[in-house]
């Protein structure tokens, strides 16, 4: 992941260390920040934020700095340790827990869940990110989102997924027939339950935003709530209990898996 770090906590250590090393090598080689920016085809502010650790140093920046500063591969070697930073910094803790989960419950109000998105739909969302992302970051995030979907079919044993999706997310103009058919295909997986919450089943708690509830092999439970500016991952039993209560309430109002499939099939026929 490229992109600015927008969390209240410190950026990942790998960002800060790699950026610091890039600055040290550049200073040692008597290369100005302007020269590095021009050679790497980045703005001066972008290089500065990379060196300060608030933006992830990209492979292009590291390779250019390595060559320009005569680092003999020491800067380029950092790419291996930054490859895992493919998601927004504020979601990385959640991604780590998601990979360890044996149970994954989620509810989405506005968008198709990331694990169920087609490449075209994911790209449309990422390309329209505010503030705008550079092309390299867009490609990295699209690829990362597609790779993340391997969780649906991994046998380790399979993770139990339950996706609750509000009807408004399916009525979004970005959702095309391909995306609807993709949802139907995913719902046929043995470890996936997909339920639609129709407009007529709306309850107040369903309008409070998206959430995810994870359980790991060690039976730890985590609740994750993602917003446009702030995201929170919590293992606090009280927070987890509230998330479970919200999900349970929404699920009681949602269509059954079979009814949900028929609902989406009708949307396909009407498209």
Buried b (16+ CB within 10 A) or exposed e, 233-271: beeeeebbeebeebbeebbebbbeeeebbeebeebeeee
Which range (59-68, 76-85, 151-160, 232-241) has the least confidence?
76-85
Q: What's residue 2's pLDDT?
A: 38
Question: Alpha-carbon distance 193 to 143, whole Å?
Answer: 25
Residues 162 and 237 in one domain: yes
Residue 159 confidence class, pLDDT cut points 50, 70, 90:
very high
Assign 8 a pLDDT band (cuts: 50, 70, 90).
Answer: very low
Q: Please check the confidence at residue 242 and state whether its pLDDT lies above 50.
A: yes
Looking at the structure of the chain, the number of domains it has is 2
User: How much is the average pLDDT of 18-42?
Assistant: 95
Give a yes or no: residue 2 inside a domain.
Answer: no
Q: For residue range 200-215, list pLDDT tens digits in order.
A: 999 999 999 999 999 9
- Domain membership of residue 51 (yes or no) is yes
Q: Does residue 60 sit in the same domain as residue 164?
A: no
200 lies in the same domain as 263: yes
Structure tokens at 112: 């198709």
C-alpha closest to that of 11 among 61, 56, 69, 71: 56
Residue 260 domain flag: yes
**What is the CATH number for 197?**
3.30.870.10
The mean predicted confidence, pLDDT, of the chain is: 89
Note if the bond before 137 is cis, omega within 30 degrees.
Answer: no
252 and 169 both lie in a single domain: yes
Residue-wise pLDDT tens digits, 34-78: 999 999 999 999 999 999 988 888 889 999 999 999 999 999 999
Q: What is the predicted pLDDT for the residue at 10? A: 62
Band (pLDDT 50/70/90 cuts) for residue 154 is: confident
Percentage of residues in the chain with pLDDT exceeding 70? 92
158 and 47 within one domain: no
Claim to verify: residue 109 and residue 241 sit in the same structural domain: yes
229 three-state secondary structure: coil
Q: Which residues, at least 6 apart from 87, have a Cβ–Cβ distance to it below 8 Å?
A: 1, 95, 141, 144
Q: What is the mean pLDDT of residues 223-228?
A: 82
DSSP 8-state assignment for residue 237: H
What is the pTM (predicted TM-score) of this model?
A: 0.70
Phi/psi at 265 (5° precision): -60, -40
pLDDT at 137: 84
CATH of the domain at 22: 1.10.260.40
The predicted structure's pLDDT at residue 228: 65
Q: How far apart are CA 163 and CA 149, in angstroms?
A: 14
Average pLDDT over residues 81-96: 65
Q: Per the domain annotation, does 98 fall within a domain?
A: yes
Of 154 and 37, the one with more pLDDT: 37
Within a domain: 252: yes
In a domain, 41, yes or no: yes
For the stretch 167-212, pLDDT in tens is 999 999 999 999 999 999 999 999 999 999 999 999 999 999 999 9
- For residues 263 and 155, give the distance between their C-alpha atoms in angstroms, rounded to a whole number: 29
Residue 99 burial by Cβ neighbours in a 10 Å radius (0-12, 13-18, 19+): middle
Same domain, 189 and 238: yes
Among 82, 106, 132, where does a domain finish? 82
Per-residue pLDDT, 268:
97
Please tell me whether residues 103 and 223 are part of one structural domain.
Answer: yes
Answer yes or no: is pLDDT of 21 > 50.
yes
pLDDT above 90 for 130: no
Q: Could you give the 3-state DSSP secondary structure of residue 182? A: helix
- Cα separation, 165 vs 7, in Å, equals 27
The answer on 216 and 181 residing in a single domain is: yes
pLDDT higher than threshold 50 for residue 161 = yes
Percent of the chain with pLDDT over 90: 69
Helix (H, G, I), strand (E, B) or coil at 153: coil
* Domain extent at residue 237: 90-117+148-270
**Cα dihedral 211→212→213→218 (10° resolution):** -140
pLDDT > 50? residue 87? yes
Q: In the structure, what pLDDT confidence band is assigned to residue 7 with cuts at 50, 70 and 90?
A: very low
Alpha-carbon torsion 271, 153, 81, 77, what sign? negative
Q: Return d(Cα 219, Cα 172) in angstroms, integer.
A: 36
Residue 32 sits in the same domain as residue 77: yes
Last residue of a domain, one of 27, 58, 82: 82
Give the residue from 122, 126, 106, 136 showing the smallest Cα distance to 46. 136
For the chain, the C-alpha Rg in angstroms (whole number) is: 21
Question: Is the residue at 225 inside a domain?
Answer: yes
Cite the DSSP H helix spans in the chain. 13-28, 33-40, 44-51, 59-69, 79-82, 92-100, 119-127, 135-148, 167-170, 177-187, 237-253, 257-270
Residue 91 has pLDDT above 90, yes or no: no
């Amino acid at each position: 992941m490229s992109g600015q770090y927008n969390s209240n906590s410190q950026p990942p250590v790998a960002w800060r260390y790699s950026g610091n090393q890039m600055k040290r090598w550049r200073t040692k080689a008597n290369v100005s920040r302007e020269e590095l920016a021009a050679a790497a085809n980045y703005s001066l502010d972008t290089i500065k934020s990379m060196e300060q650790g608030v933006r992830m140093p990209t492979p292009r920046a590291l390779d250019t700095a390595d060559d320009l500063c005569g680092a003999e591969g020491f800067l380029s070697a950092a790419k291996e340790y930054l490859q895992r930073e493919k998601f927004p910094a504020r979601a990385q803790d959640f991604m780590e827990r998601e990979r360890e989960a044996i149970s994954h419950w989620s509810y989405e109000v506005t968008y198709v869940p990331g694990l169920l998105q087609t490449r075209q739909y994911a790209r449309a969302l990422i390309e329209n990110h505010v503030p705008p992302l550079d092309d390299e970051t867009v490609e990295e995030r699209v690829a990362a989102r597609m790779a993340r979907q391997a969780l649906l079919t991994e046998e380790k044993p399979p993770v139990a997924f339950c996706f609750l999706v509000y009807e408004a997310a399916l009525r979004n103009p970005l959702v095309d027939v391909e995306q609807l058919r993709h949802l139907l295909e995913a719902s046929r997986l043995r470890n996936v339950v997909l339920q639609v919450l129709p407009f007529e089943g709306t309850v107040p708690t369903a309008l409070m935003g998206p959430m995810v509830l994870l359980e790991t092999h060690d039976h730890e439970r985590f609740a994750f709530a993602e917003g446009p500016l702030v995201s929170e991952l919590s293992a606090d039993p009280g927070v987890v209990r509230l998330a479970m209560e919200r999900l349970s309430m929404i699920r009681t109002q949602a269509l059954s898996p079979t009814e949900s499939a028929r609902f989406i099939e009708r949307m396909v026929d009407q498209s």
